[in-house]
Structure 1
């Protein structure tokens, strides 16, 4: 059973005078949130045998600070398809994950990550976690999905959302998020 952890990039700076959205760096709160989420996932013993990420600067910096908290640096596969991707494109990336991996981390952007969770996890009035994702998937939040089969078996309504954790859930100083 594969486990896919989706990490939205941490809070970026809109005040930095960069010319392209792709080049926006993290702000101080984003750096702290990424490190906090890394510490949390390590404490929960969530390991990864594959990492795939958008090559945008804010994702690269999110991973740098995430690794500081996680205590281990993992070499990501940079995939430009993830940058500002739709849920359908992200699902293609999931289908292309290496068959030998079972625990993948995907780091990217909204609204694609949120839409991917909502596509894969069936709607249910009893699923409070899915309801939280539907309300808002803030920066540096993580969602963990599982389903039967392999990566190619990921399909609409076929996954379970086993975790949804926001930085503010771990440190009140990191929320509420306004993005």
Structure 2
């Protein structure tokens, strides 16, 4: 069994006029990322590996999750399509992997990865900070395919704050 924690970065700051890749989180985003991190720790959902986009807002989200796991930062995860996200996941080594990315790719990846979507009304939108916990009945991430994951949990920051 493998477990994936799929997190969209928290709310970013558009007011600074920065390049998209360089935008940091805003105040709400920082609070949301910390809340998601607390929720993951309370549920004992601690990754042993992180795959993260190189964007400032994903790195900052990861820092605020406060999960203390080794991270691999990948340029290809910046605004990645679902197939790219799956390809990255297939190279993972941990049993519990956290992947941090962006919409619209992360929403489509989540929808295509699970056999049945969770009943949460915000799943299809996958808003900032949205977090899916899914389980795959595989021995190696190289075996991961679309449609084979079971959704165990889904939460958005608004559920916690």
TM-score, structure 2 normalization: 0.93
Does structure 1 residue 12 correspond to structure 2 residue 12? yes
Give the number of the structure whose alpha-carbon radius of gyration is greater.
Answer: 1
Matching of residue 128 in structure 1 with residue 119 in structure 2: yes
Unaligned runs of 5+ in 1: 172-179
Across the two proteins, how many residue pairs are aligned to each other?
160
Q: Tell me, in whole angstroms, the C-alpha distance in 2 between the residues paired with 1:94 and 1:114.
A: 15
Structure with more helix by fraction: 1
Q: Distance in 1 between matches of 2:132 and 2:84?
A: 18
The structure that is strand-richer by fraction is 2
Aligned CA-pair RMSD:
1.4
Query: What's the CA shift for 1:164?
Result: 0.6
Matched with 1:177 is none
Find the counterpart in structure 2 of residue 119 from structure 1.
112
Q: How far apart in 2 are the matches of 1:10 and 1:45? A: 21
What 5-or-longer segments of structure 2 have no aligned partner?
none
In 1, Cα distance between equivalents of 2:141 and 2:122: 25
1:176 maps to none
The yes-or-no answer on 1:108 pairing with 2:101 is: yes
Q: TM-score, normalised by structure 1?
A: 0.84
**2:136 equivalent to 1:143:** no
SS of equivalent to 2:83: helix
Shift, 1:121, TM fit: 1.4
